[in-house]
Chain A
Amino acid sequence: MPTIIIDDREIEVAPGTKVIEAAEQLGIMIPRFCYHPALGSVGACRVCAVKFLQGPFKGVQMSCMVDAQDDMVVSTTDKEAVAFRKYVIECLMLHHPHDCPVCDAGGHCLLQDMTVSGGHGIRRYLGKKRTYPDQYLGPLIQHEMNRCIHCYRCSRFYQDFGGYHDLGAMQSANQTYFGRFEEGILESPFSGNLIDICPTGVYTDKPSRYFGRRWDYERSPSLCINCSLGCQTVVSCRYRKVVRQEARLSESVNGHFICDRGRYGFFYNSLAQRPRSCIVDDQTTSVDQALAAVKQKLETFADKDRAQAVACAGSTRNSLETLAMVKHVCQTNRWQPPAYFEDAAATYKLKSAISRLEPDLTVSLREIESADFIAVLGADPLNEAPMLALALRQAQRKGATVAVFDPRPIFLPFEFKHLPANLDMIQTDLGALLNAALEPAALKKLDGSAREFYASLATVKQISAARQAEIVALAELLKASQRPIIVCGTEMVRRQTPALAADYALLMQAAGKSVGLFYVMPGANGFAAGLLADEDVSVETLIAGIEKGSIKMLILVESNPLWQFPDRHRLEQALQQLEVLVVMDYINSEVAQKADIFLPTTTLYETGGVYVNQEGRAQGVKPAYQGGIPIAQTGHGDHPPRVYGTEIPGAEPQAAWQLLAHLIGTGQPLTAEDLRAEIWQWLAKIDSGFKALPCVADIQPQGARFFQAPHAAERFLRERPIGGADNDGQLEVMAVEMTFGTEELSADSACLKALAGSPVIFMYSSDAKQLNLTDGDRVSVELNGGAVEARLQVTANMAAGMLIIPRHKDLDWQKMNTDKTFVHKDQIRKLKD
């Protein structure tokens, strides 16, 4: 471990640490533009110059380019180095437009800070400044090239780190231009990070443009709840509105970056159509009146036998507090057990995934970056959890092989191996890969059931001939790997797949590899919902109950089954059959509009909450602002009304868990703090794993991992399917998630609308050929509940015998079965344009 002296202070650092990083560990911030911890050093901007006084280097050198070594003595304050940096900054500022007063980066601009700290205060250059035209880069990012100081961070992030190739550096020397070949929307779903990494105002946040300076905003740490990864963010609020969201450095989850779905997924919070008051039978009422109305309805079901006529459903976007409260209310009042998922299989799959996340298998998103072989089973990283794709890319850049076993037309921003097959075959293929890669001798330690499991794996010969060579080649790579990881989806896959993925991981562990297991789950709190859910209870079973007439009152808590439930007709029928429908939500969902009694709830930004991500990491967030209707809305764009009042306008919504607490017993409701403490006590009773989770106020920035008690007996006990049933020339329909346009909360963001594009249906090329269909045809697919019409995208990059339909906001795809849905080929027709 080299020991280095910087500014008379000694520090021991890891080998390979750059001097600029060593200084940072001492709390000395050497100026920098091109250096970025995630992007590394290039030595382009020359502003991190320091003087090397002793050791292998002498004189002024770039601190980002030199590894810290023994006997090095470095001065950051040496006259020569200070003068050098001052001149560099003066040169960088030659062409800068000095438009800080109208620049959105003003106030949090690295260039401002470096210019001031570098001591360059008086402009000497009086010549003409170089200017550039700006480009339209889409709805998210404003381009202002004149401000550029050519640090190359943008093109290095965009191309090298992110893997997209439509933004880069053109021309040379003094003319260097960063932009696109032609104006247009940036292709990368990580483009928003350009705003965070640009050291000045070349890329600024477009939706929040001209809304305020950073010091005007209430800024607070927050979480992204637009997928299951739980990336850490910073939200900025002003005038009772969430204005902007940025990435927050997290060494265990998202690193320095977030995706655009997450960055711009918050607009639901401040929409004009967000419901702010209670409604009972189409009349606006107070919260107390609405709660009284709910209680009155509940009275009719108060006795022991009739209580079962009441059901309650939460969802994966509930905070842990709400999830727990939903369950607690159901139990206390002897209602039906709560439903959190559309179908019972989801609960089963999540429960099995959660029980298999053992401490020595579980890896974080960041740990994926250091894997050397990654098998992705039944997951579509870019569409289901975009930041996972970025983490996989970092692993691949370091030499890892990424193999994806999934039927969908997978795209990832790097070179990877896609082995498309239907949902039964993907696990067989992966099993065969393991079988070929693991030496039987290495598995000697295995006990009975594990050995049996190993023996039951498909052999390479059992899989399709076309695939054998690919599997054999991959097996060689897997054999050589030390740190393989299995990434497994839990949403689209078959019931037994999550458990199989864990068994596969254990086999590799037995073969001496240091294995990781990483699940992707539905929704921000899918993990916690899966944990709390009762097996065999789902929205579907509630519907069945309504149909039978046994459920008469339904309370939906931040849950909108109309968004996601695959059989819309059946659901609508059931909702009509209900005697009472109560909805509590913070979005004006379709189901909220059908409610007999509606109670508005608060968002994550207003009450905070705990969310457990897909690896079991519980992360807590405190409120970002007080809530209320944005001032722009109360004033209709002008001054807010000058009416005296002590209350915040539109702040009636309460946290769903607080509202639910009113439905228990008759006593005085607890304060929010006491109630939270109670919730934690109930949780600890439900699963001992919760005992380790501190209450929201105490959760550390890195979160706290939740682990279930080990269930060793359940290992290797699942059904082991080999091969898939022949579908008799039918196509299996899969309704899938896309990066933009299918996730409920971010679908409300106007700026993401253009990115969601128009819906398409994917079909395998030879299936399309058989049906005389070509790419771009308008087609109609006759599903159980009627026809779905969209443009067809034909691709060879997906499994045969499948029809992939994105759950796009603009597509009425909810005409499917609740179980598997098949269509005959004659149910697909070409439409005239």
Chain B
Amino acid sequence: MLPDKLKKTLEKQIAHTDHPRELVVDAMLALQDHYGYLSDAAVEEAASLLGMSALEVEELATFYTFIYREPVGKYVIHVCDSLICWMDGYESVKNYLCEKLNIEVGGTSTDGLFTLLPVCCIGYCDQAPAMLINRKVYGDLTPEKIDQILEKFRSEA
């Protein structure tokens, strides 16, 4: 169940728009932040808040890369899977991450810390190959740099 405070905040935001569905992505992200991922129940909650059908929310939820319809690790790594990163070593970065975390793309490490997902262009082509971890960008990736980053998150966890 959605806490009252969050529900009220969302309702207030929605009431301020001309067309409630403008806020569907914001609402989905807010619910995702609350639950850790966008659960089936959360899709239905978003739908009832926005006056849409669950299917209509699902159409968008499953379209957007940054909406997670399944449980994810504490840190979600989006490794850039687009043209410039391909040219600058995406394959080796991806393989290194898979090996290091002992998962395949789409999987979550056994300690529940990391989920690895591909993303199509995050706009950091100048720092290719690049990745996002919990919406923060890390560029010019090398194995050493990845080790450092992962270690940092592990120690923080």
Bound together = yes
Chain A contact residues, CB within 8 Å of chain B: 165-172, 177, 180-182
State in angstroms the CA–CA spacing of A171 and B40 once bound together.
15
Cβ–Cβ < 8 Å partners of A181 in chain B: 43, 53-55, 58
Cβ–Cβ < 8 Å partners of A182 in chain B: 40, 54
B92 interface residue (CB < 8 Å to A): no
CB distance from A186 to the nearest CB of B (A): 11
B52 interface residue (CB < 8 Å to A): yes
Chain B contact residues, CB within 8 Å of chain A: 40, 43, 52-56, 58-59, 62-63
Question: Does B53 contact A166, Cβ atoms closer than 8 Å?
Answer: yes
CB distance from B92 to the nearest CB of A (A): 24
State in angstroms the CA–CA spacing of A122 and B113 once bound together.
48
CB distance from B72 to the nearest CB of A (A): 17
State in angstroms the CA–CA spacing of A166 and B52 once bound together.
10
Contact among B40, B43, B56, B63 for A165, CB-based, below 8 A: B56
Cβ–Cβ < 8 Å partners of A171 in chain B: 62-63
State in angstroms the CA–CA spacing of A180 and B63 once bound together.
15
CB distance from A161 to the nearest CB of B (A): 16
State in angstroms the CA–CA spacing of A182 and B52 once bound together.
15
CB distance from B56 to the nearest CB of A (A): 5
Question: Does B58 contact A165, Cβ atoms closer than 8 Å?
Answer: no
Question: Does A180 contact B62, Cβ atoms closer than 8 Å?
Answer: no
State in angstroms the CA–CA spacing of A182 and B55 once bound together.
8
Decide if the interface of chain A is mainly helix, strand, loop or mixed: loop
Given contacts A181-B43, A181-B58, contact A172 B53 (CB under 8 A): no
Question: Does B55 contact A165, Cβ atoms closer than 8 Å?
Answer: yes
Question: Does A165 contact B53, Cβ atoms closer than 8 Å?
Answer: yes
State in angstroms the CA–CA spacing of A326 and B130 once bound together.
84
Candidate in B40, B53, B63 with the most chain A CB atoms within 10 angstroms: B53
State in angstroms the CA–CA spacing of A182 and B47 once bound together.
14
Contact among B40, B55, B63 for A166, CB-based, below 8 A: B55
State in angstroms the CA–CA spacing of A167 and B63 once bound together.
15
Chain A residue at minimum C-beta to C-beta distance from B64 = A172
Question: Does A169 contact B59, Cβ atoms closer than 8 Å?
Answer: yes
Cβ–Cβ < 8 Å partners of A172 in chain B: 62-63
Cβ–Cβ < 8 Å partners of A170 in chain B: 55, 58-59, 62-63
> What are 9 of the A-B contact pairs (CB < 8 Å)?
A166-B54, A168-B58, A168-B59, A169-B59, A170-B63, A172-B63, A177-B62, A180-B55, A182-B54
Cβ–Cβ < 8 Å partners of A166 in chain B: 53-55
Question: Does A168 contact B63, Cβ atoms closer than 8 Å?
Answer: no
Supply 18 further A-B pairs (C-beta < 8 A) apart from A165-B53, A182-B40. Answer: A165-B52, A165-B56, A166-B53, A166-B55, A167-B55, A168-B58, A169-B59, A170-B55, A170-B58, A170-B59, A170-B62, A171-B62, A172-B62, A177-B62, A180-B55, A181-B53, A181-B55, A181-B58
Cβ–Cβ < 8 Å partners of B43 in chain A: 181
Chain B residue at minimum C-beta to C-beta distance from A172 = B63
State in angstroms the CA–CA spacing of A172 and B52 once bound together.
20
Cβ–Cβ < 8 Å partners of A168 in chain B: 55-56, 58-59
CB distance from A154 to the nearest CB of B (A): 12
Chain A residue at minimum C-beta to C-beta distance from B57 = A181
Cβ–Cβ < 8 Å partners of A180 in chain B: 55
CB distance from B21 to the nearest CB of A (A): 11
Cβ–Cβ < 8 Å partners of A169 in chain B: 59
CB distance from A177 to the nearest CB of B (A): 8
CB distance from B15 to the nearest CB of A (A): 19
Candidate in B52, B53, B55 with the most chain A CB atoms within 10 angstroms: B55
Cβ–Cβ < 8 Å partners of B53 in chain A: 165-166, 181
State in angstroms the CA–CA spacing of A181 and B58 once bound together.
7
Cβ–Cβ < 8 Å partners of B63 in chain A: 170-172
Cβ–Cβ < 8 Å partners of B55 in chain A: 165-168, 170, 180-181
CB distance from B124 to the nearest CB of A (A): 22
